Each structure stands twice: as structure tokens, then as C-alpha cells.
Chain A
């Protein structure tokens, strides 16, 4: 089965600091998806990466996919309290859509 490992499991940062979340797959991915979840709510789509070496940005969030398409990073610049939540990476294997273990982010004002 597809496994996605995320690190760190949790992160506490001061407002204004930069941070990075990593997602590693045991297999080459068709596509890597990043989602954000507010506690107890549904997941909100952030970005999708499909090509090796691809990088995308939206506001202060940048996601990258490595050349081998097995590892992705999510980088937040100048974090704000609104960035707090759980970040999950997901992968489509063709028949199923798996998610990583999640990273809980707390931003202290």
C-alpha cells in the first residue's frame, strides 16, 4: 500500500517565522496534493504538483516536488495565525487517494 510520511508531526512557531513541512513517499507519485484542515472540519485544497522539479506558490505558501517525484516540501514564509491548522499531503495512486500522517501547525501571535 502507498505510504506517505510527514515531518514534523507538529510545529509551534512564532508569528512571522518561516517554516517547512516535508512529505515523503515510498513510491513514485502520479501527483502530490497539499491540503489544510482546520480542527474538526473538512480539508481545503491548497496545491497540486505533478511534474518532477515542479514548484508552485500561492500567497505565502510554496510547494515543491523533487525530481524523482517521491518527496515534497511545503514552505510558509512569514507565518500568521491564520496559517494554523493541520497540513496533509495526499497522493493519487490511480485507484485510491492516500493521505500522509499530517502536521499540526500552531502559530503564536
Chain B
């Protein structure tokens, strides 16, 4: 148990379904992240939230919609996905220093949500 909990662990959905992935952190961190991990590809950073504000959106298709209602919860809403979106989706949190490079930024990861799109 890392302090970052992701649900569900496994999800199978059709291309027309709407589903959501949930991430909850119990570490008091101020930043949360969504990553996508596909087979034989590097981890792809999707979204970053600092102090509940989205600071990064790395050209992610609009069929992925993040939501961060508070500093402890992060959602990834999914709709009209494609089979190539099948992957392991990882959530992480960290305590970011205010000034860039002024301190450590150790990310703590959840166990991941394995998504299969049929």
C-alpha cells in the first residue's frame, strides 16, 4: 500500500461506453498526475494538477477528460475510446516545492488501472 489508491484495477469497455478511473491519495500531497503506459512505449505524461489547478495537458485527445475536485482526488473520465487507448493508466501524487528545482519531487504511484477497449 503506497498511499495512492486507484480504482478499478481492471476495466473492459466498448468504444461507445462512458466510464471513469478514480485515484485517491492519503499522503497530503499537493500535486497529482495521470500517466499512460502502453506496451513497449515510454510512460506518457497526460495531465498534471498542482494545487487542484491543471498545469499540463500533453496534447491528450478530448475523449480523455480529467477532473480534480480536491487535492486528494483525481478522476479520468473516458468516453468514445479507441482500441489503441488500451493501456495501463497510472496515477501518482507528489509534494511539489513552490520554486522549481528547490526541492525533491518524489512521485508516489498507485497500482494502476488496466484498461481494455473492445
Contacts and interface: CB of A to CB of B under 8 A. Distances in A.
B3 to A, nearest CB: 11
B111 A41 contact: yes
A87 B2 CA distance: 18
B53 interface: no
B94 to A, nearest CB: 8
Interface stretch (B13-21, B62-70, B71-79, B102-110): B102-110
Interface string A37-66: 000111111001010000000000000000
Contacts of B94: 97
A48 B94 CA distance: 14
Contacts, number: 62
Nearest to B6: A42
Contacts of A88: 43
A67 interface: no
B44 to A, nearest CB: 9
Interface residues of B, number: 28
Contacts of A95: 48, 55-56, 100
Contacts of A31: 101, 104-105
Contacts of B45: 96-98
A92 B43 contact: no
B106 A33 contact: yes
A83 B6 CA distance: 25
Given A41-B112, A45-B106, A45-B108, A94 B101 contact: yes
Nearest to B102: A30
A98 B46 CA distance: 11
Given A92-B105, A95-B48, 7 more contacts: A35-B109, A40-B88, A44-B109, A45-B107, A45-B108, A48-B104, A102-B42
Which 5 pairs of residues, A with B, have the shortest CB-CB distance? A94-B100, A42-B109, A30-B101, A99-B43, A43-B109
